[in-house]
Structure 1
């Protein structure tokens, strides 16, 4: 689907988290050149679909496949695409090791860093390091069309999970505030439809995280609780069992942030730790 003068969005089937069932693969093309942003899961039908779509555009020269982050609903498809288009795979320096695990024996040929400029037929695209979902997560800013490609910083429906092993909620909230400062007209997320009111979407994501944080602190006023107990109280059987792990990691991400801020402390360090309000908040 063509979303703008230069941007095309392909939705490919992916084993991602409900309610999403697909991953967005973006193709930016101009004057016979193209880049692919994210590559989806490694499955033959999806690869054929992407290749067929790009070739129907006049077979532009694909300069690179850029991966926003390493998760397997975004990165392994790069192997077959790199083979077909004979193009390199690029990603942020802090994401390279994890991506190599997902695409082995293929390698990231260029490690991107904050501020790198990529030109597609003369149209500049800038690399933004936006950690939070993962340590080396990147977004891409296409100023000419005021589009931010945000990977899993936002979704066309709902929100994204932020938590261990490499998610950081403090960094995520900082990245969201930074993305808002670009005054984009559209967000191109890793899952779901294009977002046409970026400020409202980002404000929603920030507010949702802060409300969840307040909810956790309120629950801990009564007694120490484990992450699993917090999930039971917060979600109350409203989540599908297949994504409970993501809910637990998200709550754990909140707890890690609150521990770092010394607003919460470990109440018992058994095999299943429990957490309580820090003494400074209860006195």
Structure 2
């Protein structure tokens, strides 16, 4: 059962996982970046340290080191700075190694990470970025998704790193997993997801519907990302205009209208 530990910043989302919300809200980060502190016993894994913010680092360390805990490993779900910028400071304070997003040994799909009694399974899940991974915490039925699945809305597949083809395959894989052994999703941004299969089905439906709209726009003469944004996205918040254009380009690449390179 979810329980609030102190207001909305620190929240235990499963028996072994606590979310610490970073103070970086915005159009692309929603309420802010969710940093996760995973623990069984004294060894702790920190997932996505978030921005380079001294106050956030202190809150993460307070949660991680309570009752004699120590940070044994820092994991990055992908390379975007709102997830990774705080990694160096956290590693310096704790001496813990950092893996993911080009740091440390590359992840292998299905690799098991262990920190004391805590066990995680790494899933390579490209689409949002080429280096995106999700982490399964089997003991809690919890799937940590980074930006692959958000708690609200739909993630951006930004050019050139985003890939619609890969993302659709990732969604199919995660949906099959959710139906078997995932009871909730801990996203990189937004609220906890308590009905993972339904959420993933909705995301897949949304993606396919948007691709149908892009196909229709192409049939009507759209050839550039700017054409697609005008015809499909309509009035776009200026803060999201660049992201919309990049998403449109990844969709056109998926449909073979523009090259991947």
Normalising by structure 2, report the TM-score.
Answer: 0.89
Q: 1:36-55 counterparts in 2 under 5 A? A: 36-55=46-65
How far did 1:30 drift?
A: 1.0
How far did 1:65 drift?
A: 0.4
Secondary structure class of the residue paired with 1:110: coil
**Aligned residue-pair number:** 246
Q: Is 1:122 the equivalent of 2:117?
A: yes
Q: Is 1:207 the equivalent of 2:205?
A: yes
Secondary structure class of the residue paired with 2:136: strand
How far did 1:265 drift?
A: 6.6
Secondary structure class of the residue paired with 2:231: helix
Q: Is 1:180 the equivalent of 2:182?
A: no
Secondary structure class of the residue paired with 1:124: strand
Partner of 1:190: 188
Q: Following the alignment from structure 2 to structure 1, what is the Cα–Cα distance between the partners of residues 15 and 258?
A: 52
Relative distance call for 1:250 and 1:193 in structure 2 (3 A) is same
How far did 1:131 drift?
A: 0.7
Normalising by structure 1, report the TM-score.
Answer: 0.82
Q: Is 1:258 the equivalent of 2:255?
A: yes
Q: Following the alignment from structure 2 to structure 1, what is the Cα–Cα distance between the partners of residues 174 and 26?
A: 24
How far did 1:46 drift?
A: 1.6
Relative distance call for 1:15 and 1:41 in structure 2 (3 A) is farther
Partner of 1:279: none
Equivalent of 1:33 in 16, 35, 43 = 43
Q: 1:227-266 counterparts in 2 under 5 A? A: 227-237=225-235, 239-259=236-256, 264=257
Name the Cα RMSD after superposition.
1.7
Deviations 1:34-85, CA, capped at 9 Å, x for gaps: 1001010112222122122323x22312111000000011001111111111
Q: Which one has a bigger Cα radius of gyration?
A: 1
* Uncovered stretches (5+) of structure 1, i.e. residues with no partner: 97-107, 267-283
Partner of 1:20: 30
Deviations 1:187-231, CA, capped at 9 Å, x for gaps: 111001110111111111111111111111112222244211211
Q: Following the alignment from structure 2 to structure 1, what is the Cα–Cα distance between the partners of residues 29 and 158?
A: 19
Asked if the contact 1:163–1:169 (Cα under 8 Å) also holds between the matched residues in 2, the reply is no
